[in-house]
Every structure is written in structure tokens, then in C-alpha cells.
Amino acid sequence: MRVKVRPLNCTGCALCELACGFHWDEAFSLISSSVLLYRAEEKKDYMGVIIKTEEDLFLGRPEGTAEMKLGEIQKQGAGGGASAKPILIRQTCDLCKSAGVEPQCVEICPHDALYLE
């Protein structure tokens, strides 16, 4: 069971990041969530969602989804490799089990862009 993304449902509201950040920090911020909204290419409206787990990244890119094992893309590009240290600044997704609740990002998303499978 993991959190997956329907990328084209996403409208980029960042509620998932806020809810996840709250789960970890009991405060509101966009810096510590396990779910990451990618919105760095604003002029192109290229936007996606990344879920960080212990073993991989679930990438909800507009052109499709992928599960990328950490370390796998290290072989690609310029020194490339997915960020891997499991518990650093950003916790990996624990499906909110440590709080004993349903995954908050899934619950809070207004457009069903996130789901459990």
C-alpha cells in the first residue's frame, strides 16, 4: 500500500504538502513534507507531485507516473542519482501510521489527485 498520484487532477494548491508537513511538525510549512509539489517550471506550467518513501520516489509527472528506485537514476545524466538518505530533513512517507490516522495528503486533496493503492 502506498500513496500514488493522478498528476493531471492536481491543481497545485499545496494542501498535501501542508497536511504532510503538519503531520511531521505540527506546524504549517512547505519544507519538511514527504510529499513534494514540483512547481519550479512555472512559466511552462509544468507541475508534478513527488512522494518520498524509504525505497523509492513516486513521481507524478504531467506526462505520466513512475516509481523510481533510489539510486537508479544515478546512472543517468550529470552525476545524477535520486536523493536517498531516508531520514534527513524530509521524512519519508509513513502513510501517517505514526499518527494513527489515514494518509492526510490523500484525505485533504480537494481533487482526488492522491490515492492509496
Partner 1 sequence: MDVMYYGDTLIVDLPTGKTEQVEFSPEMLTENGPGLAAGIALYRDHEDGDPLVFGSGLLTGTTAPASSLGFVLGKSPLSGELAVSPLSLFSGAEMKLSGFSMVVIKGDSPKPVYLWLHDGVADVLDAAELWGLDTWGTTDAVRSEMGEQLVQVVSIGPAGESPSKLSAYSINYWGSGDTAALGARMGGKKLKAVALRGLGMLDAEEPQDFYEGAKGLLSEAPAWKGFNKACEGIDAGDIDGWLKPLVHRYRSCFACPAACNTFVKYNEGPSVMESTGVEEPGMLVTGAASAAWLLSGGWKAEPACRAMESMARAGIDLIRGARELAGSPLDDASETEEAVGGLSGGEEAGWPGGDSSPKGLFGPWVPPLADEDEWLLANRIGYVIGICPTYLLASGMETSGLFGLCSSAAGVELDPSMVAGMFS
Partner 2 sequence: MQGRSRRAAGDPVFDRYRKVFSEGSTLYPRIAVYTGSGASHSWIWFADIFDRLGLFDVRFIDESSVRDTGLSGFDAFFIGGGDTYEMAFSLGEDGARAIEGFVRDGGFYFGSCAGAYLVLSGVDLEPFTHFNLIDGAMLNSMAAPPEPRCLEHKYKSAYGDGWVFHPVYGEVTVTGQHRAIGQCVNAPLFGGPVIGRAMPEDVLAEYSRLTERAAYLWPRREAEEFMIGRAAVLRSELDGGTVVVSGPHLEHPLYTAANALAAEVLTEHFKGRSGRVSRPSRSAASNSDTAPLLLEIKRQVSNARIVGFGLEKMPVAWRLGHKVWEPEKIRMFLECAWERLPFMEEHAELMGPSGGGLEPLARGYADVTRISKSLKMRIESGRDSQAEASMLLLSLKELTARFLSIYFRLRLETGFGRD
- Region 29-58 residues binding partner 2, contact defined as CB under 8 A: 29, 31-32, 36, 38, 40, 50, 54-56
- Region 37-66 residues binding partner 1, contact defined as CB under 8 A: 39-47, 61-63
Q: Which value, to the nearest 10 degrees, does the dihedral of the CA atoms of residues 22, 86, 6, 110 take?
A: 0
Binds 79, which of partner 2, partner 1, none (CB < 5 to 8 A, cut-off by type)? partner 2
| Cβ proximity of 33 and 16 under 8 Å | yes
- Region 87-106 residues binding partner 2, contact defined as CB under 8 A: 87-90, 92, 94, 97
In whole angstroms, give the CA distance from residue 115 to residue 35.
Answer: 12
Give the length of the chain.
117
Please give the residue ranges that form the binding site for partner 1 (CB under 8 A). 8, 11-15, 18-19, 21-22, 25-31, 39-47, 61-63, 104, 107-108, 110-111
